[in-house]
Structures are given as structure tokens and as C-alpha cells.
Structure 1
Amino acid sequence: MKILIRGAGDLATGIASRLYGAGHQILMTEIAVPLTVRRTVALSRAVYEGSAQVEEMKGVLVKDQAGAEQVMENGDIAVVVDEKAVCCEWFRPDVIVDAILAKKNLGTKITDAPFVIGVGPGFTAGVDCNCVVETKRGHTLGNIIWRGAAIPNTGVPGNVAGYTIERLIRAEAAGILEPKAKIGDYVEKSSVVAVTGGVPVYAQMTGIVRGMLQPGVQVSKNLKIGDIDARAEISHCYTISDKARAIGGGVLEAVTGFERMKDEFAIVVLAAGAGTRFGGNKLNALVRNKPLYEHTLERVEAFSAFPAYIVTGSEEIAREAEQKDIATVWNKEPERGIALSLTLGLKKALEDRPGLKGILFTVCDQPGLDTSTMQQIFRTASRHPGSIVCAGSGERTGNPVCWDRTFFPKLLTLEGDEGGRQIMRKYREKVKIVQADPEELKDIDRREDLI
């Protein structure tokens, strides 16, 4: 797959190493003046050196699409100065990994690519990315978070050989950096390791200088300009760290799971109900300042890897859906019940993609449903072929529901307004429930439900 990694520092390079080893095509973006401390193991070095070798990978600085395509065709990693990731417009990545590590999201959206991974604090799975990978040292390092966020930034670096804050070398004054110790040098505590803005910077501990910013770079006071490693293993200065490999492993796991799913599922939105109990067109009712149906369309937009269809009789809803690349399937007979919408959507999806392994059916009147719940349904369905996977609470089942292809013939025989519930009751042993907050499962049936 084509993967864009935002950032090319040492942790981003560790991520690239895992993905490169798995055979993916990689483009990395950087800022014009990288501030990577562990630059000997970072492809960001290519920005000011033209190219950078880290273990088996070579990163090459490129200026445009043609250059990037040539480098990737040669089997290397392209690095481009592109702070805003404008290259997405021509690269059209399957996956974006935001590994800038700014401790906050600098603009990445869940809709920027078919699959988006946030690395570290500042991202929330199901909101601005599909999942988050934990970066804090400890028992959960490299874990994939499918709901919620990473551990917040504490401002205290991880413990390495009994040292935390002492490991850091920080600028004593704003100005030009003049390193007095090189990466790989052994230094004693209180020795001068650099000068910033004409002011000496002293080591806070004894060990090997594992990282140091490039000479001549402009720095601000208190900026991290280097680090010291008490383990004093010189090889650590030139190889990807255990932390970077663990984070890279988490990213690779998430990417591999997505790759397995991306051509196997479709989404069908059911939006053709007559609104009898509501007493009118409920899908246009305002919920949190937007029409009810828009909440569902926005969630579906986060899964652009899957073909999506909306079954409706509304011209307005169809127009809005088309703008989000959701194809319209017309149902002008809503009085015949939900089964008609279900079968119409199923037939169209199979007409376009006969080899689909599953289809997720979602209704248009669940404004509280979390995008991360849909993500978990797809992941569960991918790992458990032959199952019916739905959102629910405890033993209670609800929408959405992802049906394995083995049930398609049975779904096509449905009639009336019960939908697939009768099949779920008959094959209860095949049902797997993804636990969701009860508020997510609430639908809008009557006007009083809006309150």
C-alpha cells in the first residue's frame, strides 16, 4: 500500500522501518529545518544532507511528485519538505500515519485518507483518526487504541537506566547551536556539551551522547537539543531504539489489519423510513444543530476504503450523500418496510462488488453512535468470518450490524418491517456483540426522543 508518514524523526523512522520491511511504499514529510535530536537514526537528516541511510533504509530528499515516484520505484523512501502534507493531493495514500509527535494534532483529519493513524498524545480514535498508537514508555508502549486517546503528555521523559529528566540536554539561551560533543562521545556530568546563543550547556549526567541537533541550527531557550544515555552502548547511537520499534510494531499491526479489510466490506445506510411514529420527516429534524441524517453521513465518510450506499427516497439526502462519495439507491416505497431498503442496498452492493465478504448496515437515526464503534465492528467481522457482528450493550443487540456473506441469501428473502432481527434470533450462536455505550444505541423514533 501507499503510506504517508507525517514526520521523519527517529520515532517516525522506526515506524517507517516496520512498514518498509513489510513491503509498503513510503513517502515521509518534514519541515524545512528538522529538529531531530537522534538524527543519526532519523530519515529527517535527508532534508539537509540530501539522503540518509538508517539501517537497511535509504531516505532521499525530493522536491516534487516525479522525484518521489522515481525514488519509491527504486525501492527507497522519499522525503519531502511539506509541513502541511499538500502531497496528499497527488500521492493519494491508502494510509496516513501522523508521527509529528507535537503532543497535539496539527491538522490531521480522519477523512484525510482511507485509514488514519495518530501517534501519541493529541489524537482521539474515532474523532480525528481511526486509531492511536501509545508512545509513553511502560507496559502499554506500542498498544493500539481503538477508542479514546493516548496517555497525556506528562512533560517528563521516560525512565532509561534510572534516569529521566537528567537525560535531556536543553538550550541555555536562544541562538545558534555549537555542539562541543558529538553523537557517540562519552561525557562526564557537568562537562560542557554545547553552546547556545553563546552560553555554555552542561551535561546533567554521565554517559554517551546519543543525540544532538545539527551544528548551526537556530534554537530557542529550553529547547531539547540532545540527550545522554547512561547505558553507554555506542551502537545505540546508530540503531533504531526499542521504543521506536515498539511503536512501529503497533502501527504495522494496525496497517496490516486495515489492509486485510479494505477490499472486503461495504456500508449500506438505510434512510428511507416513512417516519410514521415521528409524525413526519424525522431525518431532517435538527439534532445538535444539524439534520439527523448528517450525523450518519459524517461517520460513513470516515470509512472511505469501503464502498458506501444510501437507500433513500429523499432528493436532499441523496445530494448530500453524493458529495461524500456515497452512492444512492432509490427506494420510493418506504411503506413496504425496512426489509425492502435492506435488500435494495444489498443487491446494489453485490452488483458492484460480487466478492464482498461482509456488508455493514447502519440506520440514519442514531446520532450518538461513535465512529470507533463502527471501526470495532469491522475489525471483529474481519477476524470472525461467518459471524453477524453488531453494536450492543450487554446481551442487548442493536445497530449497526455487519452481515457475513453467508447470510446474504437469507437477507434477500426478507419482507416487511422487521429487518434482519429474525435471522439473528435463529442464528444466535453466530452473533457477536461489540459493546457500546447505551447512549450510542438510542435511535430517534418519536419527537420526544429529540429532547
Structure 2
Amino acid sequence: MPEAHKLTAPLGGVPLVRRAVEAALASTARPVVVVTGHEADGVRAALGGLDVVFAHNPDFAAGLSTSLRAGILALPEQVDRAVVMLGDMPAIEGALVDRLAGAIDTERLIAVPVAQGKRGNPVAWSRRLFPALTALAGDVGARAIIAANAGLVAEVACEDEAIFLDVDTRDELEALALHELAEHADVDADAALEAMRAEDA
């Protein structure tokens, strides 16, 4: 979204990042740590009034791993597990966060959501793997750590595709907004979107 900062772009009148953070707050997990980077002031403003802890990542341009590190290092010592969420996934619910966190035990150090045989996000981590997370470098997530610890992974079954739904473009944001409107109005969102595009053409 070169024309806007996507995390503060509205979806149903609510900034994208606020929807993700409100889902985290709907869970029992505490504290909720929000890592800021690009346009940090705008993200903070979008989350005004919410009970969160901010951790700014000045090295955000160096890649995803730096934000993951900033978030993990901001956690209090008594936290024994963490659920890593993405700010551009607006359909995640607090109940899933709790289910993922609850799947962590002495033998399962990673919990991933699964729908239709595919793994998605967010992912829960035991503190025992925090050092591995903070050791990551560059523009990479933690997939390699999951792959290297296959025997320690708990798969949490999900019935919907919210675990795959992230927003990267204006078209994706508009399509999601239409689908949400359609759910409440009982209309075909795909047909509505095609009609809008035909009018624009």
C-alpha cells in the first residue's frame, strides 16, 4: 500500500492494527506487547486507550526478525510462553490465542493453528525457545525454528481460514471489507466486488 500505511488503514471503520490488538486483548494473555517500527506514532495513535505495552524497534528496516526480537525481549521474566501475532491479520479471535497458549506444555514447545491441512498464524512459543527466536537475523520469521523442532510442535485444529488471512494490498482490504458487509447483509461479496470493479472500469 504505497499510498497509505496499511496498519492504520481502516477496515469497517477500525484501523487494521487495532482489530488485531483487540483480538489479543480479548484473550487471557497478558501483557499484550505491540512492536512498532515504520510510522510508530500513527500506530500508537490507532491504539489509543488500549491496555498494551509498546516496544519500539528502531531497526525495523533490517527485517522481520528484528521486530520479533524486540517483542520477545520486552516480555517480563515471569512470562513462560508467548503468542506471536501479526498486525495485518484482522480476523484472528482471542479464543484462538488462548487455545494456542494452552497447547504449550513440557513436551510441546510450539503451537501452530491448522486448517484444511495447512498451518497458519499466529504461533505460540514456550520460553525455552525464546533464545532461538531472538537469535534470528534478517528478513525472516521463525519457520526454520518450527521445522528444526518438528517433534515439539502441537497442531491446533481451526475451522475457518482466519489463520491465513492477512492484508497486503488495497484490493485485499476492499475485498475483505465487502465480505464483512456481505456477511451482515446476506449477499454475495464476490459478485458485489466484481460489480464495483466493472463500474470503475
Q: TM-score range by the shorter chain?
A: 0.7 to 0.9
Aligned to 2:187: none
How far apart, in 2, do the equivalents of 1:405 and 1:439 lie?
26
Aligned to 1:337: 63
Letter in 2 for 1:318: R
| Alpha-carbon displacement from aligned partner over 1:290-341 (angstroms, at most 9, x marks no partner) | 1111111211222355112100031132245462220110123322111000
Q: Which residue of 327, 333, 353 corresponds with 2:53?
A: 327
Asked if 1:318 corresponds to 2:39, the answer is: no
Letter in 1 for 2:61: E
Letter in 2 for 1:446: T
**SS in structure 2 opposite 1:323?**
coil
Runs of at least 5 residues in structure 1 that lack an aligned partner in the other structure: 1-277
How far apart, in 1, do the equivalents of 2:141 and 2:114 lie?
17
Q: CA RMSD in A?
A: 1.9
| Alpha-carbon displacement from aligned partner over 1:196-227 (angstroms, at most 9, x marks no partner) | xxxxxxxxxxxxxxxxxxxxxxxxxxxxxxxx
- Using a 3 Å threshold, how does the CA distance of structure 1 residues 432 and 394 change in structure 2: closer, same or farther? farther
Report the Cα offset of residue 397 of structure 1: 1.8
Asked if 1:375 corresponds to 2:98, the answer is: yes
Letter in 2 for 1:323: G
Aligned to 2:80: 357
How far apart, in 1, do the equivalents of 2:45 and 2:33 lie?
12
How far apart, in 2, do the equivalents of 1:448 and 1:328 lie?
30
How far apart, in 2, do the equivalents of 1:430 and 1:304 lie?
23
Q: Which has the higher helix share?
A: 2
**SS in structure 1 opposite 2:120?**
strand
Letter in 1 for 2:100: I
Asked if 1:405 corresponds to 2:131, the answer is: no
Relative contact order (alpha carbons < 8 A, sep ≥ 6): 1 or 2 greater? 2
Asked whether the equivalents of residues 113 and 157 of structure 2 are also in contact (C-alpha less than 8 Å), the reply is yes
Letter in 1 for 2:80: K
**SS in structure 2 opposite 1:366?**
coil
| Alpha-carbon displacement from aligned partner over 1:347-376 (angstroms, at most 9, x marks no partner) | 111xxx223211111011111112221121
| Alpha-carbon displacement from aligned partner over 1:175-194 (angstroms, at most 9, x marks no partner) | xxxxxxxxxxxxxxxxxxxx
Report the Cα offset of residue 407 of structure 1: 0.9
Aligned to 1:428: 150
How far apart, in 1, do the equivalents of 2:170 and 2:69 lie?
28
Letter in 2 for 1:393: A
| Equivalent runs, 1:54-203 vs 2, <5 Å | none
How far apart, in 2, do the equivalents of 1:338 and 1:281 lie?
17
Q: Which residue of 343, 346, 354 corresponds with 2:72?
A: 346
Scaled by the length of structure 1, the TM-score of the pair is 0.36
How far apart, in 2, do the equivalents of 1:426 and 1:310 lie?
27
Aligned to 2:110: 388
Asked whether the equivalents of residues 411 and 420 of structure 1 are also in contact (C-alpha less than 8 Å), the reply is yes
- Using a 3 Å threshold, how does the CA distance of structure 1 residues 431 and 304 change in structure 2: closer, same or farther? closer
**SS in structure 1 opposite 2:67?**
helix
* Larger gyration radius, structure 1 or structure 2: 1
How many residues are aligned here? 170
Runs of at least 5 residues in structure 2 that lack an aligned partner in the other structure: 176-201
Aligned to 2:5: 281
How far apart, in 2, do the equivalents of 1:294 and 1:379 lie?
24
Asked if 1:294 corresponds to 2:10, the answer is: no
- Using a 3 Å threshold, how does the CA distance of structure 1 residues 440 and 413 change in structure 2: closer, same or farther? closer
